[in-house]
């Protein structure tokens, strides 16, 4: 292998629920056990899978989303994270999502595809499914498959024989139907990495199963077929001297962040200071801006409500006129309260005069494009931003005296709505914005947070 060649593979699925995440985690851990440095990625906007990847291989996982980030930012993010091998977990079925699909990403990056083929309740017909995946977009046809949920030796014989007779993709291995590994889940999906839902022992067992059942040496050979630009050809992200200290809420309740957002803020001159609204009684000293990301505040509503010191600190910050950006779960924390199932309203920071109520059905899901209608700390009116929305909670009707800063357009149905609620210098809403689509927004936010004097000399 040439010194500048990079190994990469994309694990796609035939559909959601085909076993991508389980096999990805096992593969990440198995490759790490082989002594390789493994860089994980997640196709699409999902936060949770990315957090689980880090548990398996010890490296921060990055999202790669062509629609939300743009092609240039995807390629930069991918190439800037060097490792012995890069492993991308796909999203939904291989072709689902059109321009943001796993297939589109594999084509854009020149990464070979290994298809996770769920064979339960089928035998020879599996070959027809694989044949379709090979012919729909021949330029990204799967080079190999891993068979999942094989019921018996006879089942494996029938499936494997049909594939070898009718398909080009080779079989790297299989996982049995009764594998002793469970991925715990709830309303927004799987449990997050911050909650440590998978024990080291369970990961070791899964990795051992992958090592025993999948030909990893052959997988590495196939990964060498990636047609990637050498990392040296990709411009590095150079930071500037620290211009502002931005506090970031990060704990079990607030854990949904795009790592690229952090990178872009640092490159724009931000020092990020992490704190916990669950555990800390006050904000860290010397901050110039706040960033409250998404997560599961509804699951920790009692603890968040009971932390009176932090609630008051956030409320005081909002009244001070200093910049605060909050999205989804962070936005819920800024309401008057979260409605609990048994105890009514659990008070929160009380910045926005509404309450947030959880529903049993999903309230919103999909890509969103934002166009600023008013100047704000992300840029001037007319600026375009992109992100993703996924939540089960709803809020009361926001009073008219609260400003709406931007129009949100659904990429699916084209409906417009007004969001980006602003109070003083607080901007909040349900949308998770990815700064990569418009990196200037990180520059603008840091500039808005920057103190009048040198950082560190505030009194």
Q: CA dihedral in degrees (301, 406, 77, 14; nearest 10)?
A: 70
At which residue do the structure tokens 């899901």 appear? 365
Q: Please tell me the number of Cα atoms within 13 Å of 331 on its side-chain side.
A: 23
CB 141 within 8 A of CB 130: no
Which alpha helices (DSSP H) does 237-336 contain, by range? 259-267, 301-306, 308-320, 329-333
Distance CA 1, CA 84 (A): 11
**Residues ≥6 apart with Cβ < 8 Å to 219:** 9, 27, 114, 144, 172
328 included as an active-site residue = yes
> Which secondary structure element, helix H or strand E, spans residue 358, and what is its range?
strand 352-358
Catalytic residue among 43, 57, 328, 376: 328
N- to C-terminal Cα separation, the chain: 57
**Residues ≥6 apart with Cβ < 8 Å to 174:** 146, 147, 148, 150, 156, 213, 214
Angle, helix 440-449 to helix 259-267, in steps of 10 degrees:
60
Residue 351 Cα to chain centre, angstroms: 27
**Burial status of residue 27 (CB atoms within 10 A of its CB: 0-12, 13-18, 19 or more):** buried
Q: Answer left, alpha or beta for residue 21, where phi above 0 means left and psi between -120 and 50 means alpha.
A: alpha
Distance CA 209, CA 179 (A): 8
CB 258 within 8 A of CB 301: no
Q: Rg of the Cα trace of the chain?
A: 23
Q: Which residues are catalytic?
A: 328
């Amino acid at each position: 292998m040439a010194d500048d060649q990079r190994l990469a593979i994309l694990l796609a699925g035939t559909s959601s629920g085909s076993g991508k995440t389980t096999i990805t985690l096992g593969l990440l851990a198995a490759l790490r056990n082989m002594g390789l440095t493994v860089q994980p990625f997640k196709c699409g906007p999902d936060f949770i899978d990315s957090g689980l990847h880090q548990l398996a291989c010890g490296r921060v996982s990055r999202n790669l989303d062509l629609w939300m980030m743009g092609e240039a930012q995807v390629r930069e993010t991918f190439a800037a994270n060097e490792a012995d091998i890069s492993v991308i977990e796909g999203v939904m079925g291989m072709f689902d999502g059109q321009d943001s699909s796993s297939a589109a990403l594999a084509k854009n990056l020149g990464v070979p595809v290994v298809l996770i083929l769920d064979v339960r309740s089928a035998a020879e017909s599996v070959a027809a499914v694989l044949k379709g995946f090979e012919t729909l977009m021949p330029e990204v046809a799967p080079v190999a498959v891993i068979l999942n949920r094989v019921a018996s030796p006879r089942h494996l014989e029938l499936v494997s024989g049909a594939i070898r007779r009718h398909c080009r993709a080779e079989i790297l291995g299989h996982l049995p139907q009764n594998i002793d590994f469970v991925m715990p889940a709830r309303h927004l999906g799987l449990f997050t990495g911050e909650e440590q839902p998978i024990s080291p022992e369970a990961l070791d067992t899964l990795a051992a199963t992958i090592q025993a059942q999948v030909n990893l040496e052959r997988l590495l050979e196939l990964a060498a077929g990636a047609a990637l630009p050498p990392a040296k050809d990709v411009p590095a992200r150079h930071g500037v001297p620290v211009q502002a200290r931005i506090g970031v809420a990060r704990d079990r309740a607030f854990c949904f962040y795009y790592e690229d957002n952090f990178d872009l803020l640092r490159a724009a001159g931000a020092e990020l200071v992490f704190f916990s609204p669950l555990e800390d009684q006050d904000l860290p000293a010397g901050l110039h801006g706040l960033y409250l990301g998404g997560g599961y505040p509804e699951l920790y509503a009692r603890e968040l409500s009971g932390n009176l010191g932090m609630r008051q600190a956030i409320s005081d910050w909002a009244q001070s006129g200093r910049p605060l950006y909050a999205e989804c779960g962070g936005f819920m924390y800024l309401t008057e309260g979260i409605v609990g199932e048994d105890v009514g309203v659990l008070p929160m920071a009380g910045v926005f005069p509404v309450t947030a109520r959880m529903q049993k059905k999903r309230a919103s899901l999909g890509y969103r494009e934002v166009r600023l209608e008013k100047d704000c700390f992300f840029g001037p009116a007319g600026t375009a931003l992109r992100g993703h929305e996924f939540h089960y909670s709803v809020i009361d009707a926001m009073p008219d005296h609260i400003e709406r800063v931007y129009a949100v357009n659904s990429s699916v149905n084209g409906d417009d709505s007004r969001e980006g609620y602003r109070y003083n210098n607080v901007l909040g809403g349900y949308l998770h914005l990815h700064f990569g689509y418009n990196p200037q927004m990180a520059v603008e936010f840091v500039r808005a947070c920057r103190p009048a004097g040198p950082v560190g000399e505030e009194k």
